[in-house]
Structure 1
């Protein structure tokens, strides 16, 4: 990747910002300076951290950056106490630009780098003033041949960015948070359906009481077909061609198409979305291939239906410009069918900017007396993505149920056995040996593919059971390295750094980085 704003050197410590009017001039402590190898840094003792963060969203159709100021406050007096985001403020929004593609199946690295550099320049923020950030690739952008390499480069060259290449279900979950659907469901105890439509895919999610209960995705998006001012096709994705064929339209790149034909195609797309969220048959036979995931497991009626993504701008009538794609026709067709949706349409406010603000970051110390690290030479580990299976722990724990919950959750998140993950669990009930032994057996079964890949197996627990779990795994014959840490509360969109054991105190520094949403 060419040199860019994200490859600059970061100068740790306190410094003064001289930003534009959107950035108040003030000194602040950068959370990134609490290094996993710097236990004596004075910020260990601080109760408040202010971070400058950036969220970079690279999607099928558009890419954008959001710069924010995040304030974190320690929740307790101990150095192991977590921090919470108590204030978040957007300080700059970049222009929403079309994601640049090169010939073939590649994202244009040079043009993407230029887009990022321009956003930093417009924000009046230097690379060395950014503490944390998140890079998210979604939709068709994830299927480009160099997509993951670009995301990893952004993350690796800064050392301060978490990176996620979102599969369909993760993208749907991200959209539910970014659009405000999850916040709305938590605030009002409501059931909210979020429909997020981008350039290549439509993501569906059901949020209830602050939790995403079900997700799904369809291969329907605004930029499956793009025409120039004369109506000639300049971009035709395979899914767009196949969908057109279902209407008897045998299109190829370079063909001339008529406005009425595009409107007919957009109407079919809207009818398919409406049928899917209602759980009714598709408007035409032979459209099962449009479903990219299993159907939603939750069904209406809903207290609210919220649209997000680029097409939402047309659903809500906030955008009138045309970019040669199906966005305007698709959005208006959905608006015309709003009465057939399984709930009243509400404006969540997220729409095209239903993305992350960036990432919060803080570090805690965990006592070395309560954890299990079978091979200390493996540490430090960086940017482990947290996954949190919902495991039921009745009085008699069933290993098969634990294994099934873990396997189902990993499948929903499109997790690969080779991915750098840490599994987070909430323990409840008595820590008796029979219960723990059954629980650990379930973990071992549920993570069998990861174990076969050679590990290491990284586990986090809210309860004080990490050392015991590590010992039981060894007793059950596990041969891959195990890193088991407790006293840590994590969420679904967290990333974790686990530092090396500090020789003086015997503690282990754990840095938690969390995606932060604007709504």
Structure 2
């Protein structure tokens, strides 16, 4: 792993003592600063693209925390956007995808060994293809040391909100922003407040649900495209010829439907049928809307070419809404449009743990696709081990998980001081609550947001005499329903990369 250095007075050494002092300071600085090469690979309904970025992280030493935070990020290579290749209506062309990825790595002068982390994300209609998950998993294995495969509408909505710049703007200006990411197959919605995504949703509207050749003959018709065409007054099927007026009518219908799905309450049956996720709740005050995704290129008039799909017509339809005052929110200036999701995948998918971890066996890592459980137990004040154990067992039962059959990660939010008695009680509660896991010899995976992972691991192993493998890491914030990948320990910072993701294919 390459590390970045600050400028310093190296070379001005006058004796061995000064030299040793400078080396010590240098190594301390290195351990507190990390630079990672990351990759984002977005295989979407319409386009496939890659972005390579650098993340610079520093330890939060000012508050005596071991947690690392991102202090700089930016891309250093962006591939051309290629149409996502399909071998037929049910499968993605894996050989052509591999060629696109290999070409991008060559152009970026990168190889798998130089990539520390990142994500392969399949989005929109691409998720529905029969071999989507196999392609995602295969690419994740070949393109870097710790690259995860992920899919899911809510995940994509979050990545788009960060990649577009909506999250940054909401933080900088203290605004509540709605990010509307319109891709080829779906439209993702994210409400962002003070830099945090508070709600996500997705609806079945996209710019490439109908594709025609140069003669206007339909060569691709997704189920959502046929349904929308019918609602706009047309019955379409593959091989039919459509006119620009018909495509514009579909675009007009979709643009109005997007507004209605967001603003209308209660929802009409039409809108309810379009939602692919639970609907947005309590929209509240919206200070502005930012558009991203491929269709946003037309909405912001940065693209005017007709690609034989609905993108151009959707852009024109939104401008009709703007001009007739039928769009109820202020439209904010453009950030990233077409590349918002892949920027999010490259620059916003990874968290770095603190450097006070406990890993009993480094061959355990990496661990991929581990389900997170966060028991509803407040770790503040006096901790009762029996009550904590019961909370763990109840949470496992609530999620229908057969303990001891698969790896799980227990996540906790720590409150208060890390006094020995309190930490010991936490460790005892974990042991009591995971008896089948321990009896079966499975690893204990524990994730904390406070700086006590090493102490917890030491108590489990040395005082409570557990022989199970233990991975106890801190500085990471997780929730129920998360899935995580845990990477190998990074040297010399002694940190661990953790990717939080969704694993929803074939929706």
* Correspondence for 2:407 among 428, 431, 456: 456
**1:301 aligns to what?**
285
**1:237 aligns to what?**
222
* Correspondence for 1:177 among 150, 162, 170: 162
Cα offset, 1:237, TM superposition: 0.5
Contact between 2:182 and 2:296, CA under 8 Å: does it hold in 1? yes
Deviations 1:269-311 (A, max 9, x none): 111001111124678x645321111211131431110111100
Contact between 2:180 and 2:189, CA under 8 Å: does it hold in 1? yes
CA shift in 2, pair 1:67/1:456, >3 Å: closer
Structure 2 unaligned blocks of 5 or more:
5-26, 452-473, 502-507
Q: Give the structure-1-normalised TM-score.
A: 0.73
CA shift in 2, pair 1:443/1:179, >3 Å: farther
Structure 1 unaligned blocks of 5 or more:
1-11, 16-41, 385-418, 501-507
Question: How far apart in 2 are the matches of 1:180 and 1:13?
Answer: 27
Q: Identify which range, 211-220 or 340-349, moves more after superposition.
A: 340-349
Question: How far apart in 1 are the matches of 2:109 and 2:242?
Answer: 44
Q: Identify which range, 172-181 or 116-125, moves more after superposition.
A: 116-125
Q: 2:60 aligned with 1:60, yes or no?
A: no
* Correspondence for 2:306 among 297, 322, 335: 322
* Correspondence for 2:371 among 421, 428, 435: 421
Contact between 1:62 and 1:97, CA under 8 Å: does it hold in 2? yes
Q: Give the structure-2-normalised TM-score.
A: 0.75
Cα offset, 1:77, TM superposition: 9.5
* Correspondence for 1:366 among 343, 353, 356: 356
Contact between 2:115 and 2:144, CA under 8 Å: does it hold in 1? no
Question: How far apart in 2 are the matches of 1:108 and 1:491?
Answer: 37
**1:392 aligns to what?**
none
Partner SS, residue 420 of structure 1: strand
CA shift in 2, pair 1:80/1:287, >3 Å: closer
Contact between 2:114 and 2:144, CA under 8 Å: does it hold in 1? no
**2:429 aligns to what?**
472
Contact between 1:272 and 1:282, CA under 8 Å: does it hold in 2? no
How many residue pairs get aligned? The number is 430
Contact between 1:133 and 1:160, CA under 8 Å: does it hold in 2? no
CA shift in 2, pair 1:336/1:437, >3 Å: farther
**2:445 aligns to what?**
483
* Correspondence for 1:340 among 309, 326, 329: 326
**1:431 aligns to what?**
381
If you compute each CA radius of gyration, which structure gives the higher value, 1 or 2?
2
**1:107 aligns to what?**
92
Contact between 1:216 and 1:294, CA under 8 Å: does it hold in 2? yes
Question: How far apart in 1 are the matches of 2:423 and 2:210?
Answer: 52
Question: How far apart in 2 are the matches of 1:81 and 1:425?
Answer: 24
Question: How far apart in 2 are the matches of 1:515 and 1:420?
Answer: 10
Partner SS, residue 181 of structure 2: strand
Cα offset, 1:155, TM superposition: 1.9
Deviations 1:32-70 (A, max 9, x none): xxxxxxxxxx79963322232221111111111111222
**2:131 aligns to what?**
146
Partner SS, residue 262 of structure 1: helix
CA shift in 2, pair 1:304/1:495, >3 Å: same
Once the two structures are superposed, the pairs formed by residues 29-44 of structure 1 within 5 Å of their partners are none
CA shift in 2, pair 1:280/1:365, >3 Å: closer
**2:339 aligns to what?**
353
**1:258 aligns to what?**
243
Contact between 2:2 and 2:35, CA under 8 Å: does it hold in 1? no
Q: Identify which range, 320-329 or 274-283, moves more after superposition.
A: 274-283
Cα offset, 1:223, TM superposition: 0.9
